[in-house]
Structure 1
Amino acid sequence: MFKESIIMSWQNIIYNKMRSFLTILGIVIGVSSIIALISIVEGVTMEVTSQFSELGANKLTIQAKGTPLKKGLTDYEVQLLADIDEVNGISPTISTTTSVVGNGQVHDKVTIEGKNASYFKYNQLALKSGRLLNSIDLSQQSNLALVSESLADTLYFGEQPIGQYLLINGISYRIVGVLEKTDQMDMMSSMSGKQSENRVIVPYQNLMGLVGLNCINNVEVYMQNNANVDEIIGKVELILNQAFNYKENSYSIINMEGLLDTIQSMNSMMTMMLVGIASIALLVGGIGIMNMMLVSVTERTMEIGLKKALGAKPRSIQLQFLIESIFLSLFGGVVGLVLGVMIAFVVAFIIGFTPSISTNSIALALLFSGGVGVIFGLAPARKASQLNPIDALRRS
C-alpha cells in the first residue's frame, strides 16, 4: 500500500508539471534564502575569526589619548604594563605620516611606524622578499626599514627594492624587507586609524628620536594563553587612571578576544533574524501547497470515490495525498538547497571569501521543508479521506 501510494503520488506530480512547479516556488525561495544567508554569514564569521586569530586573540590594544597636561604614556608607565602578571610582552607603537624619497621620487602621505622586538615576536608578518628586523637591528636602533608591497611597487616599478635606500625626514634608511599585502595588514591598518597602504616600519627607538616624541600613545599588550583577561584589564586600567589622573576619555582599551566574541554574537543574532524573515517564504510556500492539494482533492473527487467504492481504506487515501504534499515540499527543498548554495558561492566570489556550507544548515533546511509538507498537507489529505464514496461519485 505504501509503495503504491508513493508511485501514484509521484505520477500525479509529473502529470501536473507546471502547477507543481508554481506550487513549490515558495518553498524554493524560502530554502534557498535560508541556505544562502546561513552560508554567507557563517563564512564571513569564519573569515573574521581567522583574521582576528592571526592578529592575536590574546592581545589588548591601548590607545592613550592623554590630557591637555599629559599627552601620552612615559617609558616608566609602559614598563609597568609589561610587569603585569600573565603578560608575555608589550609593543609600544608610534607612527607619523610624512613624505619619503626613494629611487629619486618623492611620495607623500606615507605612514612611518616604529616597532619593537615583541611586535615581531607576537605578530605574523608575511614577507614578499627580504627579511624582518631582528633583535640586533632593534637594539642598535639601526637605520633599516621594512616597506609595504604597494610602496615598493610605486617607488621601484617592479625592480628589487632590497638594499635600496629611503630618505625619511632627511635620514637615510636601507630597505631589508618587503611586506606582502594581507588581510591582516588591512585590519591592523584600519584598527590603528591609518588607512594608507603605503607603510614603512623602522625600529621603535629610532623613530622616537627621528620625530622627537617623548610620550607613547599606542601600546599592544600580549597576554599568556588562558590568562585572566578581566584581571589584566583591571590592572591596566589602574595604571592608566593613575597616569592620567582619572580623567575621562583619556584612554581606550580594545580587547581582541572580547571584540571577537561580540562580533560572533552579533552574527548569530543577524543569522537568526534573517532566517526568520526567510522562513516567511516557507510559510507562504506551505500555504501554496495546501491550496494546490485542496484543488487536487476537488479535481480528483471521482478517483477518490472509485477507490473507496473498490475497498480503499480512508487511511490509504490520506497517506497518498500526504505523501504527495511531502514530495512537493521536499523537491522544492532540494531545488532550493542547490540554488542557495549557488547563490552563496556567487556572493562569496564577488565579496572575496569562502562560504561555509554546513551539514547542519542543509539538514535544517530539508527538515523545515519536509515539516511544511506534513503540516500543510494534513488538512487536504484528511478531507480526501473523509469523502463519502456515493456523494463523490454523484458529484462527478
Structure 2
Amino acid sequence: MDILKQSISMSIKNIRTNKMRSFLTTLGIIIGVTAVIALITIVHGVYDSVMGQFSELGANTITVSVTGNAMKTGISDSDIENIEALKYVNGTSPSVTTTATVMYEGSKNTVTVQGRSDAYFRNTTTNLVLGRELTSLEMDGSVYTCIIDRDCAQTFFLGTNPLGQTLKLNGYTYTVVGLTDDGSDDDNSSFNSFGQSSSNAGTVIIPYRNALRMTSSGNITSLEVYVSDTRYSDAVTAAVENILSESFSNDSDSYNVTNMDSLIQSMETTENMLMAMLGGIASISLLVGGIGIMNMMLVSVSERTKEIGLRKALGAEPSRIQMQFLLESIFLSLTGGFVGVILGLIISYVASTLMSTTFEIQMSAILLGVGFSAAIGIIFGWVPARRASRLNPIDALRNSDG
C-alpha cells in the first residue's frame, strides 16, 4: 500500500508540473465525454416528449384511414358494425373534421368542427371541465348538441356560463352541453368562402353524423378503433385489415391501418439504434483523446529518461515504474471524463430547457463516458508505461548525459 500511495503521489505531482500540457491532453477526452452525455441525454429527452404525445393519442387505439377507389370512397356503416363486433374491440369513433360558419351578434366567425361518437369519450381523455359528454342517444344525427372548447367559450359566451347556450352552425342551432379545456392559447386563422381572412373562434365537437352532413363528400374516411386489451392489438389490427380488404375488393391501396403499439415499438427500436449510432460517433472523440494521452506519455518517458535510469539503478522494480506511468495516464483520462460528465449534463439541461423537452440524467450515458475514458487511460497508457519499465538503466543514464 505504501508503494501504491507513493506512486499515486508522484503521478499527481508530475501531472501538476505540466499543467498546460496535461490540460491539452485531456481536452480530447473532455470533448468526447461531453458529446456522449449531451447527445444521449438530449435525444432521450426528445424521445420521451414524443412518446408522451403518442401516449396521449392512446396506445390502445388503431387508426384507419381510407383513400377509397372507383367502387367505394369511404367506410360504410356495415364496415363499422363488423369492426365493432370483433373480439377485444371496445368501440369505434369516426373522425370527421371540417369548418363551420357562426353568425354571432352581427359578425361572422369560423369554428373548427369535430365529429365524434360516444365511444370517443369513453376511451379518450377530453379535459371536460363543465357539463357532460355526448352520449349514444345523440349519434343518430337528429340531436343538435355540442361541446365547445375554451376559445369558443371566450369568443361567444365571455363572462357567462356556456352550458345551455346555443350556437348556430351553418344554419343549425346547437345547444352547448359541455366545455373542454385543451390548454391552447394559439390564435389560429382560416379563410371563409369569400377568401377573406377571419379568426378561428375555437373548436366545436358534435355527433359525427351531424358533422358528415357539413362535409362535401359525406363519407367517413377516418376511423379510430379502441382495443380493450393492448396485448391483442396485433390480432385486432389483422382482423380489421381483413374486413377492409373484403369491403374494398382486396384493394390494399384504398386503406391504411395503423397500430399505435406497433408504431411505439418501431420508435423504441429507432431510438436504440440512434443511441448506439450517437454513442459510436461521440466515441471517436474519445479515441482521439486516447491517442493524445499516449503521445503525451511517450514524450514524458523521453523527457524523464534520466529519472527512470536513476530509479532503476537504485533498485526500483520495472512493475513499479510501469505502475506510475499507467496511473498518470488513468488520472488524466478520468479527470477529462469527470469534467466531460459535468459539461455534458449542463449542455443537455440547457438544450432540454430551450426545446421544452424532458431532462433526465442518463446513468447509462455517464457510465459509458466514464468507463470509456478509464479504458482509454489503461489501453493507451500501457504502451508508454511498458516502454518506461523496459529501459536499461545504463543506457538511460548514458542517453540522458549525452
TM-score (norm 2): 0.87
Q: For 1:70 and 1:356, how far apart are their aligned partners in 2?
A: 50
Q: For 2:60 and 2:95, how far apart are their aligned partners in 1?
A: 18
Q: For 2:381 and 2:105, how far apart are their aligned partners in 1?
A: 76
Q: Judge conservation of contact 2:297–2:381 (CA < 8 Å) in 1.
A: yes
RMSD: 2.4
Q: Judge conservation of contact 1:102–1:165 (CA < 8 Å) in 2.
A: no
| SS in structure 1 at match of 2:68 | coil
Residue 156 of structure 1: CA displacement? 5.6
Pick the aligned partner of 1:258 from 236, 259, 262: 262
Shift of the 94–304 alpha-carbon distance from structure 1 to 2, 3 Å rule, reads same
Query: Which consecutive unaligned segments of at least 5 residues does structure 1 have?
Result: 183-195
Q: Judge conservation of contact 2:117–2:136 (CA < 8 Å) in 1.
A: no
Q: What is aligned with 1:99?
A: 101
Pick the aligned partner of 1:24 from 23, 26, 38: 26
Q: What is aligned with 1:298?
A: 302
Pick the aligned partner of 1:236 from 225, 240, 244: 240
| SS in structure 1 at match of 2:95 | strand
Residue 96 of structure 1: CA displacement? 1.4
Answering whether residue 336 of structure 2 is matched by residue 335 of structure 1, we say no
Q: Judge conservation of contact 1:28–1:333 (CA < 8 Å) in 2.
A: yes
Question: After the TM superposition, which of the residue ranges 82-91 and 129-138 deviates more from structure 2?
Answer: 129-138
Equivalent residue letter for 1:349: T
Q: Judge conservation of contact 2:42–2:348 (CA < 8 Å) in 1.
A: yes
Residue 261 of structure 1: CA displacement? 0.9
User: Over residues 155-178 of structure 1, what are the superposed CA-to-partner deviations in whole Å (9 max), with x where a residue is unaligned?
Assistant: 369755734543321223344313
Report sequence identity in percent: 44
Shift of the 293–103 alpha-carbon distance from structure 1 to 2, 3 Å rule, reads farther
Q: Judge conservation of contact 1:146–1:179 (CA < 8 Å) in 2.
A: no
Q: What is aligned with 1:115?
A: 116
Shift of the 165–347 alpha-carbon distance from structure 1 to 2, 3 Å rule, reads farther
Answering whether residue 40 of structure 2 is matched by residue 38 of structure 1, we say yes
Q: For 1:83 and 1:348, how far apart are their aligned partners in 2?
A: 45
Q: For 1:118 and 1:301, how far apart are their aligned partners in 2?
A: 82
| SS in structure 1 at match of 2:361 | coil
Equivalent residue letter for 2:98: T
Q: Judge conservation of contact 1:95–1:112 (CA < 8 Å) in 2.
A: yes
Pick the aligned partner of 1:322 from 326, 349, 370: 326
Shift of the 342–160 alpha-carbon distance from structure 1 to 2, 3 Å rule, reads farther
Equivalent residue letter for 1:236: V
Residue 248 of structure 1: CA displacement? 4.1
Q: What is aligned with 1:206?
A: 210
Q: For 2:32 and 2:8, how far apart are their aligned partners in 1?
A: 25
Pick the aligned partner of 2:222 from 209, 213, 218: 218
TM-score (norm 1): 0.88
Query: Which consecutive unaligned segments of at least 5 residues does structure 2 have?
Result: 185-199
Map 1:64-79 → 2, pairs under 5 A = 64-79=66-81
Equivalent residue letter for 1:52: F
Q: Judge conservation of contact 2:117–2:134 (CA < 8 Å) in 1.
A: no
